[in-house]
A and B are shown apart, each in its own frame.
Chain A
Amino acid sequence: MSEPTTGPETLLSVRDLRAYFDTDDGVVRAVDGVSFEVRRGEVFAVVGESGSGKSVTATTIMGLQPTVRIASGEVLWKGRDLLQLPEAQHGRIRGKEIAMIFQDPLGALNPVHTVGRQIGEMARIHEGASRKEAMRRAVEMLDLVGIPEAAKRARMYPHEFSGGMRQRAMIAMAITCRPELLIADEPTTALDVTVQAQVLDVLLRIKDEIDSAIMLITHDLGVVAGLADRVMVMYAGRAVETGTAPQLFYRSSHPYTLGLLAGLPRLEGPRDEPLVPIPGAPPSLINVPPGCAFHPRCSFVRADGLCRQTRPELRQATAADHRSACHELEALDGVTVESVRRAGAGR
């Protein structure tokens, strides 16, 4: 576990969170013992494939999973456990202190209300603003996220907005009450690349403007590289590697992280360089492989069967704040993304 400090720096501290779903086919262990913390003012990225549990982690923190069973763990927000909080108090924290930005900006805006009214609603319910004051705030927020002619746009409906503008409107909505933590769940996945860059730019600018932390959930390592201070890589509901962004990108210490990075196309590489995918598919969360969940896809798997039998815990890798859950940590010492790429290409 990462060192459990509750100093003034730590806003959110998640400890040993296990979020399960009971289905007819068995228990889905969507999040299976994850610990991390988010500190004031930082960008903390959670990376993983679909089904790695990153979104469930976020929605569980927000209390948005009605069918989830919290098997263990706590979510400490400034020292208070959100999981134990009654709904009414949780509702006051949601939106005001922790706000969330969703993946699909069209789906996340209500088609029957104007954009301005939806943004202003935040000020109305959390701060008791008047109708007029709420509208003024909405225009101000739209302006802040870089929407031109904000006063006019505020009176429009979501369908009259382009994808990038909708995502900005969504961000405007989330930041209206100047939350201390913004959880962004794949904020750019639904957008095309140029718009992605603009929206990320807005996010970073806003972060400085309102002085909040961002928990960025994404599968896009490019986005992580550009924004994140610290990163947690998730696989099959568990954290497999945590560290600062440079540590993860330049001194990757988990075969899964190495595999993800080796699968990225590079601009500076030779044109005909083949992409190296990680072999196999992510495991079903009902039947997670015993031992290390990644071992069936891992090319560093140990011959003595340790990887198949014992689940590795996070332990220190290249620095005190860089941790990896791999039995073969020592063997990975000289391994770089480049060598994984070469080995994969030769396969």
Chain B
Amino acid sequence: MSALDRPAPEAAPRPSLPEAAPRPSLPEAAPRPLWLDAWRRFRRNKMAMAGLTFLVVLVAAAILAPWITRYGPSERIEGAYRQPPSWEHLFGTDKIGRDVFSRVLYGARVSLRIGLASTVVSVGIGLLLGAVAGFFGGIADTLIMRLTDVFLAIPYIVLAIAIVAVAGRSENSVILVLGLTGWLGLARIVRASFLSLKQLEYVEAAHALGYSRSRIMFRHILPNAVQPVIVYGTVLIGGVILSEAALSYLGVGPQEPTPAWGLMVSQGKGDLAGAFHLLLFPGGAICLTVLAFVLVGDGLRDALDPKLT
């Protein structure tokens, strides 16, 4: 409007531009960070909030385990074998007299540690390979994508058995196995994001302004590609915990006396009729934790993508 009201542009010198004319001042509030918007959207999702609440409680319980339970995870209570749940032993005791509640709490530490660590490994590998494949294309792309095909063709159980045979049964072996097998999907997602993002004009503009390739890759494209990575990574933690349980169950996971949930399920399966609680509590912990991660992942997807709401 103001531009139309003005006399011919040549008539006056150009001291200032029309838009500098009086206009309402900007709102005083500092610019709202993008993550705050995302958090607002996330909070509206009840299921996701339930999942998040469960995870917060689980993490707190895992950290505070020594103060929550009187018994150590490997401590045997003389005479209390296969007891059903009671006030003294909330989840009962196992066949050699250990407190199941305590073992489930300490087991959360194992599961979360393995879940986080191997997801970090997967995300690291997946991001790097996916970014390189998508950004540079050509031979790099072909090589990396064929590599993922090769990995896809190896069942992770077989790889697990191979690695465990070399490195022994331990938490670290499990992290290694799951970290090395979890990046395939991520690499594909990141590659796809990079392929579409590098077509965008701001990437071309960044080239035109003389930015180096690595700067464009990591500073300009990567932040725009993290959204699916965050979502996938969150769900992946749940998946890893499930895989860890499966490995433990098959006897290639962490060893006794590590209180791994999968191991506990495996040991409890023989007593299904007599001591159902030995199966129920560690099994329930696995299910709920995995579910919580999936719900949070879902919530994050909706929250981080404004187009969906």
**Chain A positions near chain B (C-beta within 8 angstroms):** 59, 62-64, 91-96, 99-100, 102-104, 107-114, 121-122, 125-126, 146-149, 152-153, 155-157, 160, 164-165, 170, 173-174, 194-195, 197-198, 201-202, 205
B9 touching A64, Cβ below 8 Å: no
**Bound state CA distance, A155 and B34, in angstroms?**
12
Q: Is B7 among interface residues, defined by CB-CB distance under 8 A?
A: no
Which B residues touch A62, using CB under 8 A? 207-208
**Chain B positions near chain A (C-beta within 8 angstroms):** 1, 3-4, 9, 14, 16-20, 23, 25-26, 30-31, 34, 200-202, 204-212, 215, 219-220, 223-224
A65 to chain B, nearest CB (A): 10
Which B residues touch A103, using CB under 8 A? 201
B211 touching A121, Cβ below 8 Å: yes
Known: A95-B211, A110-B206, A112-B224. 11 other contacts (CB 8 A): A99-B208, A102-B201, A110-B224, A114-B31, A125-B211, A125-B215, A149-B25, A156-B31, A194-B3, A197-B9, A205-B14
A107 touching B209, Cβ below 8 Å: no
6 cross-chain CB contacts under 8 A: A62-B207, A63-B207, A93-B210, A102-B201, A155-B31, A157-B34
| Given A146-B19, A156-B31: A201 touches B205 (CB 8 Å cut-off) | no
**Bound state CA distance, A121 and B215, in angstroms?**
11
Which A residues touch B201, using CB under 8 A? 102-104, 107-108
A94 touching B17, Cβ below 8 Å: no
| Given A149-B26, A194-B3, A201-B14: A112 touches B34 (CB 8 Å cut-off) | yes
B20 touching A148, Cβ below 8 Å: yes
**Bound state CA distance, A329 and B74, in angstroms?**
99
Which B residues touch A107, using CB under 8 A? 200-202
* Binding site secondary structure of chain B: helix
A198 touching B17, Cβ below 8 Å: yes
Which A residues touch B30, using CB under 8 A? 155
**Bound state CA distance, A110 and B204, in angstroms?**
11
Which B residues touch A113, using CB under 8 A? 219-220, 223
**Bound state CA distance, A64 and B18, in angstroms?**
35
Give which listed residue, A110, A114, A126, A170, contacts B220 with CB less than 8 A: A110
| Given A155-B30, A194-B4: A102 touches B18 (CB 8 Å cut-off) | no
Which A residues touch B211, using CB under 8 A? 91, 95, 121, 125
Which B residues touch A156, using CB under 8 A? 31
Which A residues touch B210, using CB under 8 A? 91-96, 125-126
B114 to chain A, nearest CB (A): 32
B16 touching A95, Cβ below 8 Å: no
Which A residues touch B31, using CB under 8 A? 114, 155-157, 160
**Bound state CA distance, A318 and B4, in angstroms?**
38
**Bound state CA distance, A174 and B205, in angstroms?**
9
Which A residues touch B220, using CB under 8 A? 110, 113
Q: Which residue of B is nearest A208, CB measured?
A: B14
A102 touching B204, Cβ below 8 Å: yes
Which B residues touch A63, using CB under 8 A? 207
Which A residues touch B207, using CB under 8 A? 62-64, 94
B85 to chain A, nearest CB (A): 50
Give which listed residue, B4, B20, B25, B200, contacts A146 with CB less than 8 A: B20
A122 touching B209, Cβ below 8 Å: yes
